[in-house]
Amino acid sequence: MIEAPPLAMIIGVAAYAITGVIAGARQDANIFTVVILGVVTAVGGGTVRDLILDVPVFWTVEFFLIWVAILASCIAFLFAKYVITKLSRTFLYADAIGVAFFTIAAIDKTLALGQAATVAVVMGFITASMGGVIRDLLTGTPPLMIASEDMFITPAVVGGMLYAVLLKAAPVYTDIWAVVAIVFIILFRVYAIRKGLQYPKKLRMHY
């Protein structure tokens, strides 16, 4: 089973943290609040996952990731206007890398604990999405995962399901399937961002 390499984890954590900073900056939050939002966004999903699985929370073992989130948040705060106006899309692409690695690493971690594949896919979804949900709740905005019509988290869910199916079909090729699923999630999400993909109207609720 594949583990998210340090560089990918650093990129993912930093990108997640910066989305928290962007949310805080849009509400004229102070640097202390912004750093909290950045850290919570970066590690929130993995924290919820580990609490559900009743295992040590990952950042207590790899505490350097907290410092990565803090540093990324502080830098983004100092250049908030530039980050929001010029780099928002760039960080969406970096975020796609983080989502992919975090989803697959979460599935691997859950399966290694003896949980069912369906549980593992759910844990992958939670890891990829809950940090953003907590961020949005703290800023008093509707969670993007719920309010957005874009395919925000769909690539992670579909990619996680694909990974679980491939593992079931041919478990001896675990690492190959992990790479396939990671690439699939990244490409799916980048394509969705570039094309502005949305759910069909029939699959959305309107009042």
Contact 80, 25 (CB under 8 A): yes
**pLDDT tens readout for residues 91-126:** 677 778 878 888 998 999 999 999 999 999 999 999
**pLDDT tens readout for residues 144-194:** 666 666 677 889 999 999 999 999 999 888 889 999 999 999 999 888 888
SS3 label, residue 198:
strand
pTM above 0.85, yes or no: no
Delimit the domains of the chain by residue range. Answer: 6-196
Cα–Cα dist 124/106, whole Å: 5
Between the alpha carbon of residue 138 and those of residues 21, 74, 78, 91, the distances in Å are: 12, 18, 21, 21
Amino acid at 203: L
